[in-house]
Amino acid sequence: MSHRSYDTVIVGGGIIGLFTALELAKAGQSVCVLERGAMGQEASWAAGGILSPLRPWKYPEAVNALAQWSQLRYEALCMELQTLSGIDCEWRQGGMLLLDCPDSIQAQAWAKSHDVQLEALDSHELKRQFPNLSVHDRVAAADAWWLPQVAQLRNPRLLRALVKSLEHLGVELREDTVVESLNVAGSSVTSIVINAGVLHAGQVVIAAGAWSAALIPGEGRFSSLHPVKGQMLLYGPGSWQQATVVMQGDRYLVPRADGRLIVGSSVEDAGFNKSTDSQTQASLRNFAESLLPGLSDRQPERSWAGLRPASRDEIPVIGPHATIKGLFINTGHYRSGIVMAPAAARLLTDQLLGNKPILPVGAYQA
């Protein structure tokens, strides 16, 4: 039986939990991360790695604030992690192209107010810059729009880099560890009961993604958290060489540096079912082939699904529990967890350590 004590125990080994552990470890805390399966193998691994909300002008300002803080720092963070771990996260800035933008007036107003580059591409310019895309019939009613500052990274590599970096910094990472309950004395959390014993901690952070709500006592914004499934496809090397993310509707193409191509994604209320189905996979294939006809004679290399942690207002919950001292929450990042993760981790750490927060905390309170 384990009875070790830590400054902070983090429940959840996805990108939010791992980045939070990194911030706390760099602040000098002893940290343990608990993961019910393997580190970084749920929604964080399944994501596309796009470092932007998919249509940022459609998201709450609280989401964009976290995203923009992170976007300014991600390249340097990836370099820092590569130094610690030896793993290249493949950060690259190739922009994001939207082939349909019926809300172009709103988009332009948002870009101007946030000092973000947003460029209209007419049919001629679109064909010149993206000759391999079959888009001749997709810009008849409105121009395509390009966000040249958007970057992407290879999220499975980022997760491996985080794990190795945390090991280098002395963070204890426990996989296959199920949290059975929290022990609360008076109004303070004192310890965590796990399948291998009891862990004592000064603070506990719940960052378990779609599984968070079941671990947090009481009621609050976190009680509305629920899983939303997203299915993905991957085509092998040579699928497309340009670095630009391409969006149409809610679906996207994400080209990797080695020529692989991710196609995503569905949005499904399916509980905790992570299986893929032939109908959705065929729909994703049709979408990809409509933009890149050369894919029609190729088979996807693999497919998968992940469960995003969605909140009722699409704003993550980041901060202390309303009534239990020492209990903190960092979850509910839905479709933008990768891009928000550095800021979400820093904002939670600021509150846990009593530092001045990087952003106003009101919108994220539990």
Question: For the segment 247-260, what is each residue's pLDDT rounded down to a tens digit?
Answer: 998 899 999 999 99
Residues in the chain: 366
Mean pLDDT of all residues in 284-290:
95
How many Cβ atoms are within 10 Å of 170's Cβ, its own excluded? Answer: 9
- Separation CA 149–CA 256 (nearest Å): 17
Q: Which residue has the higher pLDDT, 351 or 250?
A: 351
* Cα 163 from Cα 14, distance rounded (Å): 10
Q: Residue 179 in contact with residue 162, Cβ under 8 Å? A: no
Residue 262 φ/ψ, nearest 5 degrees? -95, 135
**Host H or E run for residue 145:** strand 144-147
- pLDDT tier at 3 (50, 70, 90 boundaries)? low
Q: How far apart are CA 160 and CA 290, in angstroms?
A: 34
Give the pLDDT confidence of 25-60 residue by residue, as tens digits: 999 999 999 999 999 999 999 999 999 999 999 999
Span 151-175, average pLDDT: 98
Looking at residue 137, what is its pLDDT? 58
Task: Confirm if 27 and 51 have CB atoms less than 8 A apart.
Answer: no
**Nearest Cα to Cα of residue 339 among 24, 117, 50, 136:** 50
pLDDT tens string 74-131 = 999 999 999 999 999 999 999 999 998 878 899 999 999 999 999 998 888 888 888 8
CA distance 49 to 246: 13
211-239 pLDDT, tens per residue?
A: 999 999 888 888 889 999 999 999 999 87
pLDDT of residue 1: 44
What residues have CB less than 8 Å from 322, skipping those under 6 apart?
A: 218, 220, 365, 366
Alpha-helix runs per DSSP H in 143-232? 155-168
What mean pLDDT do residues 295-305 have?
95
Q: What is the pLDDT of residues 165-221, one digit of tens each?
A: 999 999 999 999 999 999 998 899 999 999 988 999 999 999 999 999 999 988 888
Percentage above 90 pLDDT, the chain? 83
Is pLDDT of 163 > 90? yes
Nearest in space to 174 (alpha carbons), one of 190, 189, 163, 161:
163
Give the pLDDT confidence of 316-347 residue by residue, as tens digits.
Answer: 999 999 999 999 999 999 999 999 999 999 99
Q: Can you list the pairs that 134-140 forms with residues at least 24 positions away whose Cβ atoms lie under 8 Å?
A: 134/290, 134/291, 134/292, 134/293, 135/99, 135/291, 138/99, 138/100, 138/248, 139/99
Distance (Å, rounded) from C-alpha 327 to C-alpha 181?
13
